[in-house]
Amino acid sequence: MAYELYYWDGIQGRGEFVRLTLEESQTDYIDVARQTGRGMGTGAMLELMRSKDEPQIPFAPPFLRDGDMIISHVANILFYLGAKHGLLPESERLRHVANGLQLTITDLVAEVHDTHHPISTSLYYEDQKDAAKARAGAFVRDRIPRFLGYFEQVLQQNPRGPRHAVGDAISYVDLSLFQVIEGLRYAFPKAMGSVVGDYPALMALHGEVAKRPNIKAYLNSKRRLPFSEDGIFRQYPELDLVP
């Protein structure tokens, strides 16, 4: 039975971290909001979220349905999928390390979002441009080096070698780091271009993930939507400052 992935139609967003894991593991899934027909589409997702009968009602997408289970939050979904589809180490200790790394990626993604919506998600970007410029400047100057420097150190200090974030094989954390680099390069091309040499292990990981057959096929397919100014990673030239 195929998984059902629920996320907003038309954007990559946080749902893309889940899609990459599903695509790498060649797991059947239905992207519900992108489908038409009975029980499909954005309306079906919203109906489930507002259900008075569902005991596992999710707060927000993405969430995943597997039979009678609903799993919400990206890191939680990936922990569930990774354990089932060979994208987590066997070691219980390393599985918790992987979960901690993914939760740190969650923090990074939230800070990326706040560069263009620093005051409120209910306001348009145009209503908070001055605050966004200040927030983006601090993010580019302080937070990109903090986060990427941390993940570079994680790779360099992995006892099994710098090709993976945890253990000696591909995990969902590696796939998520690929997406982070892709997104940052889209949103902050000048800023990322000026620091790319500071993170050789991260950039090598990004390149290796892009060449994996299942990921490469997905990136070249229509299922992989382009980045846009409706998602988390948004390209506003006025926010792309060289640190």
**Can you give the CATH number for the domain in which 129 is found?**
1.20.1050.10
Is residue 144 one of the residues assigned to a domain?
A: yes
pLDDT tier for residue 172 given thresholds of 50, 70 and 90: very high
Both tokens of residue 54? 């569902």
pLDDT tier for residue 221 given thresholds of 50, 70 and 90: very high
Both tokens of residue 22? 């599903």
For range 138-163, the mean pLDDT: 97
Q: Is the pLDDT of residue 10 over 80?
A: yes
Q: Is the pLDDT of residue 126 over 80?
A: yes
Is residue 55 one of the residues assigned to a domain?
A: no
Is residue 202 one of the residues assigned to a domain?
A: yes
Is residue 228 one of the residues assigned to a domain?
A: no
Is residue 97 one of the residues assigned to a domain?
A: yes
Which among 236, 10, 233, 14 is positioned nearest to 125, based on CA atoms?
236
Q: Residue 133 and residue 92: Cα distance in Å, rounded?
A: 42
Q: Residue 163 and residue 112: Cα distance in Å, rounded?
A: 25
Q: What is the pTM of this model?
A: 0.96
Q: Are 165 and 173 in contact (CB under 8 A)?
A: yes
Q: Is the pLDDT of residue 8 over 80?
A: yes
Q: Is the pLDDT of residue 243 over 90?
A: no
Structurally, the chain folds into a number of domains equal to: 1
Is residue 61 one of the residues assigned to a domain?
A: no
Counted residue by residue, the chain has a size of 243
Q: Residue 175 and residue 190: Cα distance in Å, rounded?
A: 23
Is residue 81 one of the residues assigned to a domain?
A: no
Strands 63-66 and 29-31: unpaired
Q: Is the pLDDT of residue 153 over 90?
A: yes
Q: Is the pLDDT of residue 39 over 90?
A: no
Q: Is the pLDDT of residue 241 over 90?
A: no
Q: Residue 216 and residue 90: Cα distance in Å, rounded?
A: 26
Q: Is the pLDDT of residue 54 over 90?
A: no
**Residue ranges making up the domain that contains 128:** 92-212
Q: Is the pLDDT of residue 40 over 90?
A: no
The pLDDT value given to residue 151 = 98
Is residue 203 one of the residues assigned to a domain?
A: yes
For range 119-148, the mean pLDDT: 96
Q: Residue 139 and residue 135: Cα distance in Å, rounded?
A: 6
60-113 tens-digit pLDDT = 999 999 999 999 999 999 999 999 999 999 999 999 999 999 999 999 999 999
